[in-house]
Structure 1
């Protein structure tokens, strides 16, 4: 170890940290200028827009740990929690914990979300792409929130829970915080609606033999509570949601040839097909 080499906590080097997502290179600060022995640079990163992208990524994790009110300003406590979490990650994975955390941030933020479009009264959800900086912000927030919720009333310490969240997010495990996955599912559902893909599904539904599938005219056959006490508008809303769910379920029953035609005509990617059922569940729950 040379006298000029910077290592986090005097243990882990920044030199071999790789980031495969080019869109996040400018927003995950692990370059030469952002390398420090301690994640406590005392910089004024809030003074200008986008300046927080220059803050070392490990220090941003420490700052996000300092929530909520009773923990504000306890930077040394946050640094100690992160140090212990990185020790656990190094012991369990035998990898550089900085690299594991960078991978977790890359995987943890949603690539797609939905926004409200329209004036008062007529509002709809529109699928939108998420900017790189917001992806990083969301990933750090979700990791810290998941660790904080897991550690509450639990025999495991906050450092152990934080290490678990980072490792699960790095390997894209389903045990990590599900908020990002739900956001992606709902956004993909909105994108499929925006692409007018349901017209194709309706055509396939009418022109296929679906004897084992309940007809769309009876959405209560899908297990939804439609009672006589509901008003007309409430009953219509439930039926409409059931129709969407039925179409998504039907999407998984058609053959490969039809799927290829569906891809070609409507340019719906594999992710949209895989999360179809999850998106339907999200819509039904709301």
Structure 2
């Protein structure tokens, strides 16, 4: 079982790249520990800015540094980064088109026991609705590494959400079928298309195996690129299936399910079922306990698929 969370994978890439790229700067809001950036601070103290618990200032300072030629990486809990500093993300980062990567750590319901105040079940909808803002939710540490390396090569704003805990590997080190802004096809089938993002990709892939044992073939898409959305992959998967299921650690409104439904409804009408968190404060528990309770696990996804086909 993998013990390296995606946030640590981000830190590892930036430590290595900052050895030669002195324009990289990391900014935190008293969150270097929870962001797994303590090793980065130790390695590159001159390329780090501690702002303290002041998320609005955090984003504005990052944008200012980017305007001076720096490559700003901002790490803060997703629940605060996507709400408290929303105006700064909208205006200073996206509207001003600055080279700032916003990293929402402990996203979704990672802070399970702390309740709704610390959950970020709205960040996909919020960030994706802002012009110029890209949104990514990588599914494992290897894909996360590829994503950060790709983002270092451009100068456009982006929001990345990563969870708090390690997730099982989906890909192999050195053998990640990564293409920027293109969904990864994990499995191909003709009965149902399962489109998932982030921590929901692994249970989606496991669900496909459960369905295979029942004689049901499933396509599984890892839609790590929420915006820009890989519409071509969605249309192809939907055309080859009888129905579509989306799976996300997000509110049922404005997230991956809503976006996929728009594409399918416009291009290749099929039934779309969105598996997501409910429109209510979720139960208290660990991430896995919450996922299990709401059917956001392999068994729940497979059950939904069998009911559809």
Higher relative contact order (CA 8 A, sep 6+): 2
Asked if Structure 1 and Structure 2 have the same fold, meaning a TM-score greater than 0.5 normalized by the shorter chain, the answer is no
Counting helix residues as a fraction of each chain, which structure ranks higher? Answer: 1
TM-score where L is the length of structure 1: 0.25
Counting strand residues as a fraction of each chain, which structure ranks higher? Answer: 2
Give 1 or 2 for the bigger CA radius of gyration.
Answer: 1
